[in-house]
Chain A
Amino acid sequence: MSTDMNVVHDLASKEYEWGFVTDIEEDRIPKGLSEDVIRVISAKKKEPEFMLEWRLNAYRYWASQEKADAEPKWANVTFPPINYQGITYYSAPKQKKTLTSLDELDPEILRTYEKLGIPLAEQKLLANVAVDAVFDSVSVATTFKAKLAEAGVIFCSFSEAVLKHPELVKKYLGSVVPHTDNFYAALNAAVFSDGSFVYVPKGVRCPMELSTYFRINAAETGQFERTLIVADEGAYVSYLEGCTAPMRDENQLHAAVVELVALDNAQIRYSTVQNWYPGDKNGKGGIYNFVTKRGKCLGRNSKISWTQVETGSAITWKYPSCILQGDNSVGEFYSVALTNNYQQADTGTKMIHLGKNTKSTIVSKGISAGHGQNTYRGMVKIMKGATGARNYTQCDSLLIGDKCGAHTFPYIEVKNASARMEHEAATSKIGEDQLFYLQQRGLKTEDAVSMIVNGFCKQVFKELPMEFAVEAQKLLAVSLEGSVG
C-alpha cells in the first residue's frame, strides 16, 4: 500500500479512537463496502424503500465493474490505486474541534484567510470559533430560509429532501447521471452521504443566490456528495458551490455527483470556486476531486451555465456537461483551472446537442505553473436530429515557467450537416516583456504576474456572481505565490 493510502487508512481508523460516537451500533460498522454497509447507511438516514433499492442497484453495478477491473484509466493523470475497502462509508456528522479564538488557529491558515480578504466574522465560522453575540449565524440563516419559503423555493440538504419531498427526488434522481454512467458515479449512487437539493417552482426567479455556505448541516462536506437542482418551467436559479478558503479533509477521494434539470424556459447558473487541499509542495496528501456534473436542458428555450474556478485538489478530474435536449436550449461552460507544484487536472466539458437550434459556448482557460500538468478535454457532439446547432469553443493555455505542461484533447463529432462549429486555441507564456513593462510602472513581480493572469481569466471571471469573482481573483493570486522565481 502506498504512503498515501496508509495515511487514509490511518485516519479512517483514527475516527474510532475519538470516541465521541457513543452509539454501539456505529462502532460495529466495518470499513469497506458491501450490501450490508449500504443497508446500514440507508437505515441510519431513515430512507424510504425506493432509495435503498436505488442504492443497492447502483452498488451491484459498481461491484461488477470493480470485479472486472473496469476502473477508468484513460485520463491524463496518475495516482496510486485506491483501496475501496479501506474507506469508511458512513460516519456521523463530525463535531469539528471548537476554538475559543482565532489565535488558536494555525497562523499559516490565518494568513491565507487574510490574503483572500475573508471578513473576520466569516473566518471565525470557517475555523469553527465559538460564535459570539456579534455574529449570529442562526438568525442569518433563518432570514434566508424565510425569504425562500415565501417564494416557494425548496433549498435543503439532499437527505432532508429524500424524506420531505420524495416524489420530486424520485422523479429526477438519476435522470441526468444514471448509476451506469461511470465508475465513480456508480460508487456515489451507492454510498452518497449528503448534498444539496433545490427545487424552484414554475415562473419563480429565486430571490437570492443559493450558497452551500448557508445550508444548515453544511459544516462538513462529505466525500460522496449528491446534489440535485430542478428549475421548473420559467424558473431561474443561481447556485454557488465551494469557497476560496483552503479546505482540508482526511478523506482523500471526493466523488460527487451533481445533476441539474431545466424545464421549458428555465435557467440554472451553477458556479464553483474550489480550493481543495492540493497536497504539500511535493504533491503528497492532496484531495482527488473526481466529480460527475451534468445538466439536462430538458425543456425548450432552457439554459444551463457552468462556471468553475479550480485551483485546488491534487487531482481534478471533472467534465461539467450539458445535454441540450429541448429545442433552442443553450449550454455554457466557463472554466479556469490552475495547476501549480505537482497538481494534475484533466478537466473540460461535454456538450451534447440533441434538439433543434441548440447552442453551446465553451471558454476554457488553463494555467500551468511549477510542475503542474493541465489537460483540457472537451467533447462537442452534434446528433443527427440536431438541426441548426452552433458551438463556439475557445481553449487557451498559459504556461508559467518551463517545467509545467498544458495539453488539449478536443473531440468534435458532427452528425448533422447544418451545424456550425468554431474552435480556437492559444498557448502562451507570460512574456518577459509584459512583466518588465508592469515592473517598470512600479508593480512587484508577484502583483504583475497576478495581473497578467487575471487578464487572461477575465472572460471567465465576468461570468461569476460578483462576490465570487472578487474572491476568485484573490484566490488565483494566492495560488500562484512563488510560481515566478
Chain B
Amino acid sequence: MSLLEIRNLHVTVGENEILKGIDLTVNAGEVHSIMGPNGSGKSTLAQVLARRDAYHVTEGSILFEGKDLLEMKPEEAACEGLFLAFQYPVEIPGIGNTYFLRSALNAQRKHRGQDEMDAMDFLPLFREKLKLLEMDDKLMNRSLNEGFSGGEKKRNEILQMAVLEPKLAILDETDSGLDIDALRIVAGGVNSLRSPERAMLVVTHYQRLLNYIVPDFVHVLVDGRIVRSGGKELALELEEKGYGWTEHDTRQPVGARA
C-alpha cells in the first residue's frame, strides 16, 4: 500500500480553480520534489494535504495509508503522521517553545495510544534535536517563533519535525529566506530524518535545495497540473532551461514515476 495516493485532485479557492487534476503516488522511503513557477499551485497542494479549510476540493481523492485524508480534520491528519513545514511559520506570543512542542507530541502520542511524555523525559529529547539543528538551548524558554529571524523559523520547523517524527513530511519552500549556512544545516536535519518508513514532499522553486536534499523523483507543476515527472536530473534540466521549456517540449507528460 502506498503512503500517499492522490487521484484526479481538483481544488478551488474562492472562484478560481488552482489544481486541475493532480495524480501522484508516494511510497514510504521516497523523497519527491514538487517544482514549479509562482502561482502554479505548489503551496495549495501542500495546504490541502495539511487539511486547511479555505481550500475546496471539488473533485478527486487523497488516500493516506489507505485512509480517506479528505475526511480528516487538520489535527487528525497530523496525529496520523502528516507534517507540514510551513513556508511562513506564525508567531504565537506567550506560548513557550518547550511547552508547545511537548503538548503537540503528547497529543499525537495519545492518539496513537502511547503514554504521554512528562517534562523530565522530554527535555533530553528536545536538547538532542536542538543540537542536530545547531540551535541554541536558550530557545527552549522563548515563545513560539517570537522574535525569530526568518531562517530561525525555518530551522524551528525542521526541529519540530525531528521531534514529532512524521510518516509524511511536506516541506513548503523550506529554502526560502535561508542563507548558505542555514541551508546546509536545515538540509542536514532533513536528511538525517530520511528513513524507509518515512516519505517527504519537498516543494521548491529552486534547484539549489535539491543539491542538498537529493530527491528520488521530481515533478513539475505548472498551472495546476503536473506536466512532467522524472528523476533528479529533471531538476537540473529545469535549472538550465527554465519552466517555460516544459510547455514547449513535445514529450508527453509522464505519470507519477519515472
Over the window 43-80 of chain B, the binary record of Cβ atoms lying under 8 Å from chain A Cβ atoms (1 yes, 0 no) is: 00000001011000000000000000000011100110
How far does the alpha carbon of A436 sit from the alpha carbon of B53 in the complex, in Å? 9
Cβ–Cβ contact B75 & A439, under 8 A: yes
CB distance from A54 to the nearest CB of B (A): 46
* B204 contacts chain A at the CB level, 8 A cutoff: no
* B143 contacts chain A at the CB level, 8 A cutoff: yes
Over the window 136-164 of chain B, the binary record of Cβ atoms lying under 8 Å from chain A Cβ atoms (1 yes, 0 no) is: 00000001100000000000000010001
How far does the alpha carbon of A455 sit from the alpha carbon of B92 in the complex, in Å? 8
- Chain B positions within 8 Å of A441 at CB level: 78, 100-101, 104, 107, 160, 164
Cβ-closest chain B residue relative to A441: B104
- Chain A positions within 8 Å of B178 at CB level: none
Q: Which stretch in B8-16, B82-90, B126-134, B180-188 binds the other chain?
A: B82-90
* A452 contacts chain B at the CB level, 8 A cutoff: yes
* A445 contacts chain B at the CB level, 8 A cutoff: yes
CB distance from A307 to the nearest CB of B (A): 17
- Chain B positions within 8 Å of A433 at CB level: 90
* A442 contacts chain B at the CB level, 8 A cutoff: yes
Looking at the complex, which one of A432, A436, A451 makes contact with B95 (CB distance below 8 Å)? A451
Cβ–Cβ contact B75 & A451, under 8 A: no
Question: Is chain A's binding surface mostly helix, strand, loop or mixed?
Answer: helix
Cβ–Cβ contact B94 & A443, under 8 A: no
- Chain A positions within 8 Å of B92 at CB level: 434, 437-438, 451-452, 455
Give the A interface residue count (CB, 8 A): 23
Looking at the complex, which one of B52, B103, B160, B164 makes contact with A436 (CB distance below 8 Å)? B52
Over the window 163-184 of chain B, the binary record of Cβ atoms lying under 8 Å from chain A Cβ atoms (1 yes, 0 no) is: 0100000000000000000000
Cβ–Cβ contact A437 & B160, under 8 A: no
Cβ-closest chain B residue relative to A444: B75
Cβ–Cβ contact B78 & A440, under 8 A: yes
Cβ–Cβ contact B90 & A440, under 8 A: no
- Chain B positions within 8 Å of A457 at CB level: 94
Over the window 182-226 of chain B, the binary record of Cβ atoms lying under 8 Å from chain A Cβ atoms (1 yes, 0 no) is: 000000000000000000000000000000000000000000000
- Chain A positions within 8 Å of B83 at CB level: 440
- Chain B positions within 8 Å of A444 at CB level: 75, 107
How far does the alpha carbon of A458 sit from the alpha carbon of B78 in the complex, in Å? 27
How far does the alpha carbon of A288 sit from the alpha carbon of B164 in the complex, in Å? 47
How far does the alpha carbon of A363 sit from the alpha carbon of B106 in the complex, in Å? 32
How far does the alpha carbon of A459 sit from the alpha carbon of B160 in the complex, in Å? 26
* A61 contacts chain B at the CB level, 8 A cutoff: no
Cβ–Cβ contact B75 & A445, under 8 A: yes
* A482 contacts chain B at the CB level, 8 A cutoff: no
* B108 contacts chain A at the CB level, 8 A cutoff: yes
- Chain A positions within 8 Å of B255 at CB level: none
Cβ–Cβ contact A442 & B95, under 8 A: no
Looking at the complex, which one of B53, B90, B104, B144 makes contact with A442 (CB distance below 8 Å)? B104
* A456 contacts chain B at the CB level, 8 A cutoff: yes
* A397-439 at interface with B (beta carbon < 8 Å): 431-434, 436-439
- Chain B positions within 8 Å of A443 at CB level: 75, 103-104, 107
CB distance from B85 to the nearest CB of A (A): 10
CB distance from B56 to the nearest CB of A (A): 16
How far does the alpha carbon of A230 sit from the alpha carbon of B101 in the complex, in Å? 45
Looking at the complex, which one of B74, B95, B160, B164 makes contact with A439 (CB distance below 8 Å)? B74
Cβ–Cβ contact A455 & B93, under 8 A: yes
Most chain B CB within 10 A, of A439, A441, A452, A455, is at A441
Looking at the complex, which one of A431, A437, A442, A455 makes contact with B94 (CB distance below 8 Å)? A455
Over the window 455-467 of chain A, the binary record of Cβ atoms lying under 8 Å from chain B Cβ atoms (1 yes, 0 no) is: 1111100000000
Cβ–Cβ contact B78 & A455, under 8 A: no
Cβ–Cβ contact A451 & B78, under 8 A: no
How far does the alpha carbon of A444 sit from the alpha carbon of B89 in the complex, in Å? 19
CB distance from A460 to the nearest CB of B (A): 10
- Chain A positions within 8 Å of B50 at CB level: 436, 440
How far does the alpha carbon of A447 sit from the alpha carbon of B95 in the complex, in Å? 13
Taking A441-B78, A442-B78, A442-B107 as contacts, is the C-beta distance between A451 and B73 under 8 angstroms?
no
* A180 contacts chain B at the CB level, 8 A cutoff: no
How far does the alpha carbon of A455 sit from the alpha carbon of B143 in the complex, in Å? 9
- Chain B positions within 8 Å of A112 at CB level: none
* A221 contacts chain B at the CB level, 8 A cutoff: no
* B84-120 at interface with A (beta carbon < 8 Å): 84, 86, 89-90, 92-95, 100-101, 103-105, 107-108, 111
CB distance from B133 to the nearest CB of A (A): 17
* A57 contacts chain B at the CB level, 8 A cutoff: no
CB distance from B167 to the nearest CB of A (A): 13
Over the window 181-222 of chain A, the binary record of Cβ atoms lying under 8 Å from chain B Cβ atoms (1 yes, 0 no) is: 000000000000000000000000000000000000000000
* A128 contacts chain B at the CB level, 8 A cutoff: no
Cβ–Cβ contact B89 & A437, under 8 A: yes
How far does the alpha carbon of A454 sit from the alpha carbon of B164 in the complex, in Å? 23
- Chain A positions within 8 Å of B75 at CB level: 439-440, 442-445
Cβ–Cβ contact A447 & B103, under 8 A: yes
CB distance from A407 to the nearest CB of B (A): 23
Looking at the complex, which one of B79, B86, B107 makes contact with A437 (CB distance below 8 Å)? B86
How far does the alpha carbon of A443 sit from the alpha carbon of B74 in the complex, in Å? 9
Taking A442-B107, A443-B107 as contacts, is the C-beta distance between A458 and B94 under 8 angstroms?
yes
- Chain B positions within 8 Å of A438 at CB level: 92, 100, 104
A contact residues vs B (CB 8 Å cutoff): 431-434, 436-445, 447, 451-452, 454-459
A-B contact pairs, 11 of them (CB 8 A): A432-B53, A434-B92, A436-B74, A438-B104, A439-B78, A442-B104, A442-B111, A451-B92, A452-B95, A455-B143, A456-B94
Q: Known contacts A431-B90, A443-B104; can you find 12 more A-B pairs with CB under 8 A? A: A434-B92, A436-B52, A436-B53, A438-B92, A438-B104, A441-B107, A441-B164, A442-B107, A445-B75, A451-B95, A451-B100, A454-B95
